[in-house]
Amino acid sequence: MDLFSLRLIPESPWLTPWQADTLSGLICWAAVRRHGGDFVRSEILDAAMANGPRFVLSDAFPGDYLPVPAALRLTERPANERKALKRAKWLKRADFIRAQRGEPTPVADMIAEDGIRSYTQLRNNIARGNAGLRRGGLFSKEEWFLRKDIPYLTIYARIETDFVDTFRELMTELATWGFGADASAGKGQFHLHPNLDSADWLDEASRDGNGCVVLSSFQPAATDPTEGSWDAFTKYGKLGPDFGLENVFKRPLVLLRPGACFFAPLSRRWLGRAIPMHDLLSTDVAEDLSAQAAHVCHLAFGLSVPMNLPQR
């Protein structure tokens, strides 16, 4: 698989976090619109379910920042640095490469200020029957946007060589629709920088490292390494709107955040799995989809890069 970086330039705030699994799912929907369901199943989903994904993505990061590897948070530090270490989120590209090589990473080089800002937007809950407002119908939604001095988001992608042109086409298709919730109302609008740039430097920084760091929100597979350090969270996902189902909610998923580290050098450079329909959905929803001859899975792969982890 070839490793690339691509830049996304937001044109509006977004309501859905730019996580790897969400973006992978939306690329599949772009493929449905462009080529139809049979194409998605034969060209993307079958390969993913056979543990051979055609592409594996990172989350989207602000500018050229990369996540602080979780292993660095466990290194011994002076007492006056521990609070700053806990708050740290990002490393600049050069500092991340030094961390991959196992060189000391001063807390002063870690960035606590987030390149992504947010605000809460109040909205009205409409009573559809009479086009009026429901009593007590105010609710809030969080919207995100980039800091003024950071003009783009960066995504890293491992892509099968014969799928690169298709991937570029599908990302262009997605850009015409927008990303995530309320895209039809103007949220999550973005355009692509025209270049897919090589990101081989992420693999070359530590070819003989004793482990790896993952740049994605992902769910480990049963065969993935278990010795390392990470931060987990629970995600409550939904199916796309095109299946005509009343219950569109997926089962809660436990995912690991970007920056997870494992003591296991990997030649394939990715972890995680495609979560099958029977693990993803309630039994009745899975049966409804099967009756429609529909196949659903959740692409929860994680893009890993080598790292010389601090000794335990």
How does residue 170 score in pLDDT terms, banded at 50, 70 and 90?
A: very high
Contacts of 278 (CB under 8 A, 6+ apart): 286
- As to burial, measured by CB atoms within 10 angstroms (0-12 exposed, 13-18 middle, 19+ buried), residue 173 is middle
| SS3 assignment, position 186 | coil
pLDDT for the residue numbered 242:
65
Nearest alpha-carbon partner for 116 in 89, 83, 96, 91:
89
How much of the chain exceeds pLDDT 90, in percent? 66
Tokens of 19: 């996580």
Provide Rg for the chain, Cα atoms.
20
Residue 174, pLDDT > 80, answer yes
Picking from 63-72, 82-91, 285-294, which range would have the lowest pLDDT averaged per residue? 285-294
How does residue 306 score in pLDDT terms, banded at 50, 70 and 90?
A: very high
pLDDT in tens, 1-37: 999 999 999 999 999 999 999 999 999 999 999 999 8
Q: What is the pTM of this model?
A: 0.91
Residue 304, pLDDT > 90, answer yes
- For the CA atoms of 22, 23, 29, 30, what is the dihedral angle to 10 degrees? 170
Task: Give the mean pLDDT of 187-191.
Answer: 93
Residue 132's alpha-carbon distances to 123, 126, 129, 140, 190, in angstroms, are 13, 6, 8, 18, 33
pLDDT in tens, 225-239: 999 999 999 999 887
